[in-house]
Amino acid sequence: MSTPEQRVTELRNQITQYSYEYYVLGNPSVSDAQFDAFVNELRTLEQQYPDLRSPDSPTMRIVDGFDNQFEKVRHPRPMLSLANAFDAPGVLAWRDRVYKILETTAVTWTAEPKIDGLALALTYQNGLLVRAATRGDGEIGEDVTLNVRTIQDVPHQLRHHVEWPIPTTIEVRGEVYMRSDEFAALNQRLVEQGDKPHANPRNAAAGSLRQKDSRITASRPLRFFAYAVGYVEGIPFDSQWQTLQVLRAFGFATNDDARHFTEFTDLLAYANTWMARRDDLAYEVDGIVFKVDSITQQDQLGVAGRDPRWALAYKFPARETTSVLRAITVAVGRTGVITPAAEIDPVQLSGVTVRNASLHNADLIEKLDLRIGDTVVLKRAGDVIPYIIGPLKEKRTGVEMPWQMPTHCPACNTPLERADGEVAWRCPNFGICPAQLVRRIEYAVSREALDIVGLGEKQAQLFVEKGLIGDVADIFDLQPSHFADMDGFGEKKVANLMQSIADAKQQPVARVLMSLGIRFVGTVVAQLLMNHFGSLARLAEASVAEMSAIDGIGPAKAQSVVDFFAHPAHRALIDKLATRGVNVAGGGSPAPTSQALANQVFVVTGTIAGYSREEAEAMITRHGGKVTGSVSKKSTYVVAGSDPGTSKIQKANELAVPIIDFATLMTMIGDDHAGDVIVPTPAAKNDADAQPATDTPIIQQSSMF
């Protein structure tokens, strides 16, 4: 049997190898669950034996340090910028200058997509990462080492390679970036939390890298491509292509789309191919970087000003276009929020046909001074969401018409309202507005609420239009005969839907409360309310003062519940649900299966990998713990997943409440969790109206040169 020291060394080597396979080779040899198990085992051993902790341990990506000061550091060699060319003649002119200076056409080349991220310089001494610095002005950057240590594909220690010895000192240069899909997911989380989304992946990467709290950086989906070497001692480099191979051997992710060419015509053809296929890349690029491959020839060519003569950025056309704004329409959300959207003449943008664009709210339209008939500039945020930058006022002819926010709901003609301090206009006709009803039914049947499979957006729209559903309770009146003349409802599909509806009657009362669609009442708030009141009937009689006295329920949430049940129709809805056999009392807090977490109060924030928020909280309550929605002096721990709420993390730090990750929580539960029957599922999406804003973060424990 190995000693703890031997096992720690073994685990670190295994985890480093598996990380290399996953992030660099893209070919993992173990499952995510196995990888997580190794990391959890290592973390536990390091907690049990503090003397075995090491700064280069894989667990140190989950840093304790925060409040970075970003000290200024001087680069050992300047991080240069790049000259640009925007067409083939410009590229050929650069090639000819290279030939002229070198006095030869015997040149080979490399081409690499120009990632739209943030340049970074990583310094390793004897194979260990000792410093990470931003480009800054090219001469002096900022020390962001703590934050960079959280990026998964930045090695803490260089891999040993039989052909290439570890240099005494090496400065590796590359780009921090976000994949387009991960950027879109991050923005979605920010919007759901009530935070402002990032304009593009580059801004998101830059902002994430400069967070004062390293744990926030750790929550962001940052990645790193290595593409060059600055200062180096102990190893020679002959070419750019060789440099990429050595960096990959040392454990860095390098761009799989980089290519080596002997003929310049092939180099240009490659760039033109990618210009046509740029949307196939998983990340944003704004061009292709051409480099003279030979380091000797690079030295001969030298630098002109701040641009190396041996490199050029062949820039892609901007991802912007113009169209004509034909109309502004509005959509009604679940809680009555009115959201405007632009209808434009169809136009090609980033490889897709765009007919609509986001406008967010009436204040933005007024700020941009948009008018119907304007020629507008369009852009795709993160190459995903089209939005209007603004109008081209010089193209106005005088026929353009200002737009006014409707005064009445387009679905039910109810006068719109806007609360003090809010930008959103709302339709207050919560009980009757058909557009709100469709959205509420979608929400009620979602996995986080009643979890009725087979009843989605299209079905909700159809059933509301046919008069089959007028409120949540009507879902339980649906019968097979209702689908007899409906396309797409075969016998098996109807049978499955009926069974799912029947199963929903037994959902815990907290889920039933969520299904009512009360503003601010999401998973946590619903559970807190039902743990206290036990039934919907008792909750409907409660006052703002009674609810506000519950730890985690503030006055705004309490007032929202009181306002909801002030409507007689909503009170009647409780009886209507009860008569259909729906659980409206009981099941709010199942009896604990163990006391592993007894007398401890937890706040869960962020996304827990493999579990929905509700499942993670249920795990705590099943083992005797208590879950609240906000951090207070009574909190024992804050359990933080990826992208947790900044306000909760800050509050925990202010009150000295320990912050742990989910793996640590599972360690606290220990063997008692073996009998749990939860099947982990993908993390649930929060609803922006259901939960108050919770900010961002986590913890767990354009230059090329």
When pLDDT is cut at 50, 70 and 90, the band that residue 587 belongs to is low
> For residue 319, what pLDDT is reported?
67
Alpha-carbon distance of 694 to 446, in angstroms, equals: 21
In 3D space, the residue among 371, 377, 449, 426 whose CA is nearest the CA of residue 612 turns out to be 449
Q: 246: part of which helix (H) or strand (E)?
A: helix 240-249
Please, where are the H alpha helices in 20-68?
32-48
Token couple for 349:
């943008």
Q: Is residue 40 over pLDDT 60?
A: yes
Side chain identity, residue 409: C
Please give the Cα distance from 39 to 609 (Å, whole number): 14
> Which tens digit of pLDDT belongs to each residue from 287-314?
899 999 999 999 999 987 678 999 999 9
Token pair 């140190």 is found at: 60
For position 609, what pLDDT does the model report?
63
* 28 pLDDT tier (thresholds 50, 70, 90): low
Interval 80-90: pLDDT, tens? 888 888 888 88
pLDDT of residue 64: 42
Comparing 6-20, 130-144, 240-254, the range with the smallest average pLDDT is 6-20
Phi-psi region of 677 (alpha: psi -120 to 50; beta: other; left: phi over 0): alpha
Looking at the predicted structure, is the pLDDT value of residue 699 above 70?
A: no
What was the pLDDT predicted at 135? 87
What residue type is assigned to position 110 of the chain? Answer: T
Indicate if the pLDDT at residue 475 is higher than 90: yes
pLDDT higher than threshold 50 for residue 136? yes
Mind telling me the catalytic residues?
114
Beta carbons within 8 Å of 25's beta carbon, 6+ residues apart? none
The whole-number pLDDT of residue 350 equals 60
325 has pLDDT over 50: yes
| Of residues 516 and 458, more confidently modeled | 516
pLDDT confidence of residue 502: 93
pLDDT value at residue 56: 65
For residue 108, name the pLDDT band (cuts at 50, 70, 90). Answer: very high
Q: Residue 664 corresponds to which amino acid?
A: T
Per-residue pLDDT, averaged over 379-407, amounts to 83
List the structure tokens of 392.
């081209």
d(CA 535, CA 542): 11
Query: pLDDT at position 686, please?
Result: 33
- Read off the pLDDT of residues 632-678 as tens digits, 9 standing for 90 and up: 888 889 998 776 777 788 888 888 888 887 877 877 776 444 334 33
Q: Which residue has tokens 């339980």?
A: 476
* Bridge partners for 122 per DSSP: 132, 172
- The better pLDDT of the pair 598, 329 is held by 329
Stretch 127-135: mean pLDDT: 91
How confident is the model at residue 32, as a pLDDT? 53
The mean per-residue pLDDT over the stretch 332-340 comes to 88
Average pLDDT over residues 335-340: 89
Q: What percentage of residues in the chain have a pLDDT greater than 90? A: 34
357: β partners: 342
Among 67-76, 96-105, 544-553, 572-581, the range scoring the smallest mean pLDDT is 67-76
423-436: pLDDT as tens digits: 889 998 877 899 99
**The pLDDT value given to residue 36:** 61
Residues of the chain with CATH 3.40.50.10190: 590-701
Residue carrying structure tokens 């939390």 = 193
Q: Residue 701's pLDDT is what?
A: 27
Kindly report, residue by residue over 348-371, the tens digit of the pLDDT.
Answer: 776 567 888 878 788 889 989 999
**DSSP state for residue 319 in the 8-state scheme:** S
Which regions of the chain carry the CATH code 2.40.50.140?
A: 320-400
Q: Indicate the pLDDT class of residue 398, thresholds 50, 70 and 90.
A: very high
Contact, 556 vs 421, CB < 8 A? no
Question: By the 8 A CB rule, do 452 and 467 touch?
Answer: no
**What was the pLDDT predicted at 8?**
81
Residue 382 confidence (pLDDT): 40
For the segment(s) 434-579, the CATH number from 1.10.150.20, 3.40.50.300, 1.20.1420.30, 3.30.750.24 is 1.10.150.20
Q: What is the pLDDT of residue 187?
A: 83
Residue-level pLDDT at 301: 93
Rounded mean pLDDT of 165-188?
A: 90
User: Out of 3.50.50.60, 3.30.110.30, 1.10.3720.10, 1.10.287.610, which CATH number does the structure's domain 4-61 have?
Assistant: 1.10.287.610
Question: Which CATH number is correct for 590-701, 3.40.470.10, 3.40.50.10190, 3.90.1150.10, 3.30.2320.50?
Answer: 3.40.50.10190
Can you give the pLDDT at residue 479? 92
Stretch among 67-71, 334-338, 417-421, 671-675 having the lowest mean pLDDT: 671-675
Q: Tokens in use for 52?
A: 């075995």
Domain 72-315 = CATH 3.30.470.30: yes
**Torsional class of 338: left (φ above 0), alpha (ψ -120 to 50), beta (otherwise):** beta
Q: Does the pLDDT at position 58 exceed 90?
A: no
Write down the pTM of the prediction: 0.46
Q: Outline which parts of the chain fall under CATH 3.30.470.30.
A: 72-315
Q: What is the pLDDT of residue 84?
A: 83
Distance, in Å, from the CA atom of 584 to the CA atom of 572, rounded to the nearest integer, reads 12
- Where does the chain hold its CATH 1.10.150.20 domain(s)? 434-579
The ranges of the chain annotated as CATH 1.10.287.610 are 4-61
pLDDT band per the 50, 70, 90 thresholds, residue 556: confident
Q: Give the phi and the psi of residue 626 in degrees, each rounded to 5.
A: -115, 140
Closest CA to 281 of 256, 259, 248: 256
Per-residue pLDDT band at 20 (split at 50, 70, 90):
low
Mean pLDDT of the chain: 82
Fold topology of 320-400: OB fold (Dihydrolipoamide Acetyltransferase, E2P) (2.40.50)
**3-state DSSP assignment of residue 502:** helix
Yes or no: say if 154 and 118 are a contact pair by the CB < 8 Å rule: no
pLDDT of residue 454: 85
Predicted confidence band of residue 265 (pLDDT cuts 50, 70, 90): very high
Distance CA 425, CA 335 (A): 11
Higher pLDDT, 226 or 486: 226
Question: Quick check: helix, strand or coil at residue 259?
Answer: strand
Q: What percent of the chain has pLDDT over 70?
A: 85
Between 104 and 161, the more confident residue is 104
- pLDDT at residue 387 greater than cutoff 50: yes
Stretch among 15-24, 139-148, 192-201 having the lowest mean pLDDT: 15-24
Residue ranges with strand state E in 333-370: 337-349, 352-358
Distances (CA, A) of 582 to 470, 475, 488, 507, 585: 17, 11, 28, 8, 9
Q: For residues 46-57, give the mean pLDDT.
A: 74
- Quote the CA–CA distance of 75 and 230 in Å, as a whole number: 9
Q: Is residue 591 very low, low, confident or very high in pLDDT (cuts 50, 70, 90)? A: low
pLDDT in tens, 528-549: 899 889 899 999 999 999 998 8
